[in-house]
């Protein structure tokens, strides 16, 4: 058997006006975990779509060898038939079906055209045991969390007798505990002889599990690093990805913090459908001019629910409490009022709520600001084009033109379009929910720089992030949430990952002063 399970030779893939891959060479050894790294738009996902048959033979040039044999995949079914299975970042599960039904969807356990449910259940139990998921095969997907759904996807891959497992950003939507469990599972599979390819922007995770790391930049292979041949560091990977080293100096700033600009008092929000379920419980927080305030918390802590309810009551019902801007109480009962009062919200889900994917960059950037770009209710198209072009340049959005559709941009550039959209409204308070999720290290540093620039202009920033190093790197002060409540407030000088985790995993009680205190579970 060939030493390399997979070889991709001189792969070139073009889209109209764009060469996504150019003579890419990629080799994966039998039984290793091989990481594929690169900035958004470097060609990682495109290369994996070529491998898995999403882009069929004939739509690219070059050669694929699997187990030493040339392969010409016309579709995904052909690649899966050889044991090549890809799990995409957006999970392909049907919420209304059970775990068992999802695992064997398209791969039904049938006899004479009739599904054998006993066999389906038995095999599902065995697969769930392999991935360490203690759920009933009859549980509906909508009733389990994202971390468990990711394990269902892996079980689904194992059901297809996988030889090469490809995971595209498998931990992007997971908390630290679920991410660690998934990485340990990959290491366990490796011991059993399985070969894996992992695409991730979380370099600390790459260093934890990968035997080899191939770096792509601008659609070309830059280098492959092998752990057994050299000591690999995050900075070494970053240098290959962006062409230079990045350091904390790139995000440091001298904070000039002024008076309180934004304050939330006794804020309580109930679930939009379950009237008695409290999602945000008596939250109090404030932001000062020029201050970057972080909100840390585990998934389900209520961070997004808090942000969306503040932004024009976009989430929840029976909302109570007060919001003050510059010391004056304001009403933010809808999104229009929030924008008029100088509040903007960068959503965590840019594809669903942040962008109109099938529209162009220009329209996405200017949509919330059409009133200021109009004269007598008629949009000034020249001004719209000029403004969109200005923000494209200012935020370094990589695109053929402002008329390029948002769906064809990389994740990092999509996020810059969302930021441009809200910066154009000239907000005084900018709420940012997971602003760097799923984007590469180079784009992250660019977004950090934009956040710092806004703070330097006296804006108030509220930053929600699941990445504790990110919170610690750029925030001046950090609130911690658990089960809908603020459980801690920590200044930058006192903040550590251990301190934040203590407040993120607490049981709560009222102290004598009526404030929340935290006790480790």
CATH number at residue 234: 3.40.50.300
* Residue 355 maps to a domain: no
The residue out of 426, 443, 478 marking a domain boundary is 426
- For the chain, give the number of residues: 521
Q: What is the pLDDT of residue 38?
A: 87
Both 302 and 381 in one domain: the answer is no
Paired tokens of 245: 């080293």
* Secondary structure of residue 458 in the 3-state scheme: coil
Both 386 and 432 in one domain: the answer is no
Both 460 and 313 in one domain: the answer is yes
Average pLDDT over residues 71-100: 90
The residue out of 401, 426, 451 marking a domain boundary is 426
Both 326 and 393 in one domain: the answer is no
pLDDT digits 0-9 by tens, 433-489: 988 877 777 778 888 988 999 999 999 999 999 888 889 989 999 999 988 999 999
Query: What gap in Å lies between CA 308 and CA 100, rounded to an integer?
Result: 34
Both 305 and 382 in one domain: the answer is no
Query: What gap in Å lies between CA 265 and CA 284, rounded to an integer?
Result: 5
Both 434 and 411 in one domain: the answer is no
Distance of CA 12 to the CA centre of its chain: 28
Both 212 and 308 in one domain: the answer is no
Place of tokens 């068992």: 100
Both 22 and 75 in one domain: the answer is yes
Q: Considering the chain, what is the average pLDDT of its residues?
A: 87
Place of tokens 């001004």: 383
The model's confidence at residue 284, banded by pLDDT at 50, 70 and 90, is: very high
Query: What gap in Å lies between CA 440 and CA 206, rounded to an integer?
Result: 13
Question: CA dihedral in degrees (390, 339, 410, 247; nearest 10)?
Answer: 80
Number of domains in the chain: 3
Beta-carbon contacts of 257 under 8 Å, excluding residues fewer than 6 positions away, are: 288, 289, 290, 291, 476
* Residue 347 maps to a domain: no
Q: What is the pLDDT of residue 312?
A: 94
Query: What gap in Å lies between CA 311 and CA 423, rounded to an integer?
Result: 15
Paired tokens of 241: 């990805």
DSSP string for 93-143: --TTSBHHHHHTTTS--EETTEE-HHHHHHHHHHHHHHHT----TTSBGGG
Query: What gap in Å lies between CA 263 and CA 73, rounded to an integer?
Result: 57
pTM score, whole prediction = 0.67
For residue 484, what are the domain limits? 259-342+427-520
What percent of the chain stands above pLDDT 70? 94
Distances 407 to 357, 361, 410, 417, 432 between C-alpha atoms, Å? 5, 9, 8, 11, 21
Both 291 and 166 in one domain: the answer is no
pLDDT digits 0-9 by tens, 87-138: 887 778 999 999 999 999 988 888 888 999 999 999 999 999 888 888 999 9
**Nearest C-alpha neighbor of 126 from the set 149, 104, 143, 94:** 104
The H or E element that residue 417 is part of is helix 411-424
* Residue 353 maps to a domain: no
Both 221 and 104 in one domain: the answer is yes
The model's confidence at residue 268, banded by pLDDT at 50, 70 and 90, is: very high
Query: What gap in Å lies between CA 280 and CA 484, rounded to an integer?
Result: 4
Question: CA dihedral in degrees (480, 485, 489, 494; nearest 10)?
Answer: -40
pLDDT digits 0-9 by tens, 41-63: 788 889 999 999 999 999 999 99
Both 409 and 313 in one domain: the answer is no
Both 396 and 442 in one domain: the answer is no
* Residue 106 maps to a domain: yes
Q: What is the pLDDT of residue 514?
A: 41
The residue out of 226, 249, 272 marking a domain boundary is 249
């Amino acid at each position: 058997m060939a030493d390399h399970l997979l070889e991709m030779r001189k792969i070139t893939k073009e889209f109209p006006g764009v060469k996504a891959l150019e003579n890419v060479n990629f080799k994966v050894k039998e039984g290793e975990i091989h990481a594929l790294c690169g900035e958004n738009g470097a060609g990682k996902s495109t290369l994996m779509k070529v491998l898995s048959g999403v882009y069929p033979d004939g739509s690219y040039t070059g050669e694929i060898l699997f187990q030493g044999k040339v392969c010409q995949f016309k579709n995904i079914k052909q690649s899966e038939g050889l044991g090549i299975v890809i799990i995409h970042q957006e999970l392909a599960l049907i919420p209304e079906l059970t775990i068992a039904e999802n695992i064997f969807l398209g791969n039904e356990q049938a006899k004479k055209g009739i599904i054998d449910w006993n066999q389906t259940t038995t095999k599902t139990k065995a697969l769930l045991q392999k991935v360490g998921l203690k759920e009933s095969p009859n549980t509906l997907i909508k009733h389990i969390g994202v971390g468990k759904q990711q394990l269902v996807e892996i079980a689904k891959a194992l059901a297809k007798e996988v030889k090469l497992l490809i995971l595209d950003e498998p931990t992007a939507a997971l908390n630290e505990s679920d991410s660690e469990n998934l990485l340990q599972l990959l290491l366990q599979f490796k011991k059993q002889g399985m070969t894996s390819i992992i695409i991730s922007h979380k370099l600390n995770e790459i260093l934890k599990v990968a035997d080899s790391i191939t770096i792509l930049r601008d659609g070309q292979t830059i280098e492959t690093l092998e752990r057994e041949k050299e000591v690999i560091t995050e900075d070494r990977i970053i240098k290959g990805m962006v062409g230079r080293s990045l350091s904390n100096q790139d995000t440091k700033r001298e904070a000039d913090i002024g008076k309180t600009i934004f304050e939330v008092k006794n804020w309580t929000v109930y679930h939009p459908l379950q009237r008695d379920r409290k999602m945000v419980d008596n939250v109090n927080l404030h932001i000062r001019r020029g201050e970057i305030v972080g909100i840390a918390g585990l998934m389900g802590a209520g961070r997004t629910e808090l942000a969306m309810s503040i932004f024009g009551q976009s989430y929840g019902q029976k909302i109570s409490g007060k919001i003050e801007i510059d010391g004056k109480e304001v009403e933010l009962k809808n999104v229009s009022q929030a924008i008029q009062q100088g509040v903007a919200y960068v959503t965590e889900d840019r594809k669903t709520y942040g962008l109109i994917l099938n529209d162009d960059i220009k329209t996405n950037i200017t949509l919330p600001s059409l009133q200021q770009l109009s004269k007598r209710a008629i949009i000034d198209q020249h001004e719209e084009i000029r403004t969109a072009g200005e923000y494209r340049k200012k935020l370094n959005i990589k695109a053929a033109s402002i008329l390029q559709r948002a769906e064809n941009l990389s994740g990092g550039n999509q996020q810059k379009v969302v930021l441009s959209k809200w910066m154009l409204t000239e907000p005084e308070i900018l709420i940012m929910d997971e602003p760097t999720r799923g984007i590469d290290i180079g784009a992250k540093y660019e977004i950090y720089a934009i956040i710092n620039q806004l703070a330097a202009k006296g804006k108030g920033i509220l930053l929600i992030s699941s990445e504790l190093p990110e919170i610690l790197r750029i925030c001046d002060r950090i609130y911690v949430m658990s089960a809908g409540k603020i459980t801690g407030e920590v200044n930058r000088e006192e903040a550590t990952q251990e301190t934040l985790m203590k407040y993120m995993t607490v049981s709560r009680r009222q102290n004598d002063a009526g404030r929340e205190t935290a006790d480790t579970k």
